[in-house]
A = this chain, B = another copy of it.
Amino acid sequence: MALVVQKYGGTAVTTPEHLKKVAQRVVDSYNDNNDVVVVISARSGETNRLSELAREMSPRQEGVEYDLVISAGEQMIVGLLALGIRELGYKVKTFLGWQVPIYTDPLPTRASIQLIDSLKINAELKKGAIIVVAGFQGIDPRGNITTLGRGGGDTSAVALAHALGAVQCELYSDVDGIFSADPAVCSDARKIDRISYDEMLELASQGARGVQIRAIEYAKKHMVTMQIRSSFTTESGTVVTGEDATMEGVVVTGIVYDKNEAKIAVMGIPDTPGTAAKVLTALADNDISVDMIVQNVSQAEQADLTFSVTKTDFDKAHQITARIAEELGAREIIADRNISKVSIVGLGMKNHAGVAARMFTTLAYNNINIQMISTSEIKVSVAIDEKYTELAVRVLHEAFIGYS
């Protein structure tokens, strides 16, 4: 008898029809001689609807009252799924965050899980019940309902898997797993069977769907094995786990791209200490995240600063940069909306020299100009002209991963 935590949410729980399929799937897993704990997130549209109602009452989306409104979505869906499981003839027991309890810090809308008391859930498992837990929510030390922020449902599931000592935390969504590249772009893309936490973190950060970054970090910290799989098929998905020897043999595991990038370059900044920092500080003060950054001295005592932001933030970032650039006496600003970022990720890079060089050569051979570069121990990202995105993914897939 193994204990499995399964997390469902998003498009998998949109209608009662979907929920009935989830109920059947949960019951199948139970009949496969597993103890099953299901963690569920609200239907995608429901959280948006509740959030919009809250915004109409109060434009600032904050405070325990806001959390009260949006956590109602999980309460409803937990009840509905439990009704579906009971209707199939199985014993079921529901837990809202405060009923587990899942204790969090007192930071509404972005709380972090502090402690999960697994006593009551374990007692119900012993009685043979299938457990359904509300994801995304907890209770703070003052007894208020808190929420973990968007995507917190994945983190709830991983944290519960850890607290209960589950063999695996299965994260169900509408993707079949993690692929070596987006199958819509690269027909040779293959599903990755096993991947390390660090690779998954890099892939998710650079654009891969299927699991929230906070959940991966939690899983890595507590060594929880995850499986990212589809709720629409019974195929196995991608297992995310600790590094092992076989993983390091593969140089590049996956290639991801992100089209939500734009470039701003400030040319001819007087090169005195702290000038570049002023631009970046002004952006940070306005909650604009800067992704890639390149600075170089172009002429005597003048520097160029180039960086990327999301397309969403582009207009605001452009205005702010223009204002600061004028204050600094910079020569000119060059701004470009049509940028994308393509990244190669792989644990094997640690031990294989020349991976970046091979990437740059491959792109150059295909006449794709590299505008910015950023690297980590297991990742190389390049900013390129957006129109070459798909071509870049395909040639890099061919160069590093090959044909399926």
Contact = CB atoms under 8 A, between A and B. Distances in A.
Interface stretch (A82-90, A269-277, A312-320, A384-392): A82-90
A325 B164 CA distance: 63
A87 B58 contact: yes
A251 B146 CA distance: 56
A66 interface: yes
A163 interface: no
A82 B87 CA distance: 36
Given A94-B64, A98-B98, A99-B143, A84 B57 contact: yes
A58 B83 contact: yes
Interface residues of A, number: 37
Contact of A16 (B56, B63, B68): B56
A3 to B, nearest CB: 22
Contacts of A94: 64-65, 68
What number of copies of this chain does the assembly contain?
A: 2
Contacts of A67: 79
A238 interface: no
A20 B83 CA distance: 35
6 contacts: A16-B53, A16-B57, A50-B76, A54-B80, A58-B87, A65-B86
B76 A53 contact: yes
Interface string A196-236: 00000000000000000000000000000000000000000
Interface string A288-311: 000000000000000000000000
Contacts of A50: 76
A19 interface: yes
A395 interface: no
B83 A65 contact: yes
A19 B69 CA distance: 14
Given A20-B57, A57-B16, A75 B68 contact: yes
A71 interface: yes
A27 interface: no
Given A80-B53, A94-B65, A86 B58 contact: yes
